[in-house]
Structure 1
Amino acid sequence: MWFKNLHLYRLHDQPQLDAGTLEESLAGQAACLIGRQEARRIGWTQPAGRAGTALLHELQGQRLIAAERQERILPAAVVREEVAERAAEIERQTGLPVHRRVKQELKEQAYEELLPKSHIKRQRIDLWWDTTRSLIAVNTSSRKRAEEALDLLRETLGSLKVTPLATQTLPMRAMTQWLVDEASRPASLLLGDKVELKAKGDDGVVRGRQVDLDSDDMQQLLATGRQASQLALQIEGQMGFVLHDDLAIKGIRFDDALLDEASETEDDGDAIVRFEADFLLMTRALGASIDQLIVWMGGEAALGVNGN
């Protein structure tokens, strides 16, 4: 249940949907087994997995939905080997070289025949829709996968106007300032032990793990003009994470006190009660942390709107 990564989006003109209407819409795009000739498919699945049947969990304005992405894994090397064998057989039978056009046809044939036999990879992508903040957060490390899930939601609802969350101060500038000037760090913000520094030119990237970010060596690197593109941070009482220069939040580790509170919640052995209680605790911590980050980076930036 506890999210590991987040891509954040501002929702514009938030659709006014009650839970029943939304769940009905989700059911119209429910996940089903990928077809034999399909390379990929995405649809809605139960956020609670086998423990539940609902496609939507909504509590105190917090919504949780989940997409299931299925993709057939057919390595290009397997197709190339099959094409090579078929081309070699034609050459043995005809005594003539196989032309490029024929090889392309063989490739298409091999792909169509091998695809139904390929392995199916499944991936679940959770979406947290905070109706109180008009915010959607997607639990995935990949921006591309987040956009796929949003595209599915847009198709499901008929319209979804969102933009990636952006702040007045660029994350790279804020992170670099926190590294350079200890006095600029907010009182409840602590530095972790992981950083990625990028140079303005072509000097490459410097990555550090389990390092003292206040060390003289780090300050010397920053003095050359390098800027922080990733920085491990901790918000006291909420969570630790790595902030990226596109405002993605990755490697989330929730505070021990929060996890202890979750473990002490009474659920009477009901898996759904436990699931929803954890969801509420998690979204409170995430929401408070996101609010703080926005304030620390000068507030939210106004951007154009994408969507239909």
Structure 2
Amino acid sequence: MWFKHLHLYRLHDEQVIPLDALEDALDAQAFRPVGPHEAKRAGWSRPAGRHGRSLVHEIQGHRLLTLSRQERLLPSSVVKELLEERCLEQEARQGYAVTRRDRLAIKEKLVEELLPQAFTRSTRIDVWWDTRRRLIGVHCASVKRAEDTLDVLRQSLGSLKVTPVTVSIPPGRTMTEWLTKPETRPDTLLLGDQIELRAASEEEGVFRGRQVDLEGEEVQAALDAGRRVSQLRLSTEGQMSFTLHEDLAIKSIRFSDNLVDEANDSTDDEDPILKLDTEFSLMAHTLTSTLGQLIDWLGGETETPPATP
């Protein structure tokens, strides 16, 4: 249940959609496995898996949704190789080279033949919806995958006014200042041991450090040379550690051992619903607290116009 990555969005809809209405909207686009001739399919599934009955898992104003995706794996190299064979066979029969239009038609027919034989790959993306603070967090590493997930949610609801959370001071500038001016760093914010530094010119490359002293000479020399922080490993004591990116993406999240132990001690593995309740509640409250602090440390959230429904 514990999220590893997070892309955060501000919800501009003032009214909270009722739980029953949300359930019905998601049910209309519930997940179904891909058909023999389909390349991919996405739909909503139960966060608790086979043990759950609902497409929305809610506790204390926090909602958990799960988007399931399934796609057929058809390597482009295989398609290309067989396409060349088919084109050569047709050229031999007709006595002249196939046209571009004929080539596209042959490819479409070939893909249609191969799809039913292709293996499938299934993935799931969880969505955390804080109804009280009007925040939505998408659990995935890629911002494109996060946007695609919100597009499916928008289709299901008919409208979804969201924008990425933005802060008044660019995160890269603040992170750089935390290292060059340690006195500006919040007392409860701890430095990790990973960093990425970028120069003003792309030709100068990127400095990446792992298991390094962020206040050591090597990092300070790079900062003195004019590089700025684009990624920084941080932690909040007793809550979580994470890598903050300059676009405000939160990645490589690791919740504290105390939280994980608390969840394990409070639940019985034989009751998966209770286990989900406990882990989701602890995680959601930790994210709310940590992200609220982080946004304040970065100068506060800026007002952004709502996205087009």
Category of TM-score, reference length = shorter chain? over 0.9
CA RMSD of aligned residues (A): 1.5
| Aligned equivalent of 2:126 | 126
* 1:206-225 to 2 correspondences below 5 Å: 206-225=207-226
Tell me which amino acid in the other structure corresponds to 1:282: M
Deviation by residue 1:85-122 (Cα, 9 ceiling, x = unmatched): 11222233344333433322222221222223222221
Counterparts in 2 of 1:217 and 1:42: CA distance versus 1, 3 Å: same
In the alignment, the residues of structure 2 paired with residue 70 and residue 227 of structure 1 have an alpha-carbon distance, to the nearest angstrom, of 40
Q: Which moved more, 1:293-302 or 1:260-269?
A: 260-269
* 1:104-183 to 2 correspondences below 5 Å: 104-183=104-183
SS in 2 for 1:132: coil
* 1:1-308 to 2 correspondences below 5 Å: 1-201=1-201, 202-267=203-268, 269-308=270-309
Tell me which amino acid in the other structure corresponds to 1:164: P
Cα offset, 1:205, TM superposition? 1.1
In the alignment, the residues of structure 1 paired with residue 30 and residue 14 of structure 2 have an alpha-carbon distance, to the nearest angstrom, of 22
In the alignment, the residues of structure 1 paired with residue 161 and residue 101 of structure 2 have an alpha-carbon distance, to the nearest angstrom, of 44
Counterparts in 2 of 1:297 and 1:106: CA distance versus 1, 3 Å: same
In the alignment, the residues of structure 2 paired with residue 125 and residue 161 of structure 1 have an alpha-carbon distance, to the nearest angstrom, of 20
Cα offset, 1:271, TM superposition? 1.4
Q: Contact 2:16–2:131 at 8 Å: present in 1 too?
A: no
In the alignment, the residues of structure 2 paired with residue 18 and residue 87 of structure 1 have an alpha-carbon distance, to the nearest angstrom, of 56
Cα offset, 1:213, TM superposition? 0.8
Cα offset, 1:71, TM superposition? 1.8
Deviation by residue 1:40-93 (Cα, 9 ceiling, x = unmatched): 211100111222222111111010010001222212111111111112222333
SS in 1 for 2:159: coil
In the alignment, the residues of structure 2 paired with residue 72 and residue 115 of structure 1 have an alpha-carbon distance, to the nearest angstrom, of 7
Q: Contact 2:196–2:232 at 8 Å: present in 1 too?
A: yes
Long gaps (5+) in structure 2 = none
Cα offset, 1:225, TM superposition? 1.3
SS in 2 for 1:217: helix
Cα offset, 1:267, TM superposition? 4.5
Long gaps (5+) in structure 1 = none
Identity of aligned residues (%): 50
In the alignment, the residues of structure 2 paired with residue 138 and residue 100 of structure 1 have an alpha-carbon distance, to the nearest angstrom, of 41
Cα offset, 1:260, TM superposition? 1.5
In the alignment, the residues of structure 1 paired with residue 5 and residue 38 of structure 2 have an alpha-carbon distance, to the nearest angstrom, of 28
Tell me which amino acid in the other structure corresponds to 2:75: P
Number of residue pairs the alignment of both structures matches: 308
Cα offset, 1:26, TM superposition? 1.2
Q: Which moved more, 1:278-287 or 1:20-29?
A: 20-29
In the alignment, the residues of structure 2 paired with residue 193 and residue 3 of structure 1 have an alpha-carbon distance, to the nearest angstrom, of 21
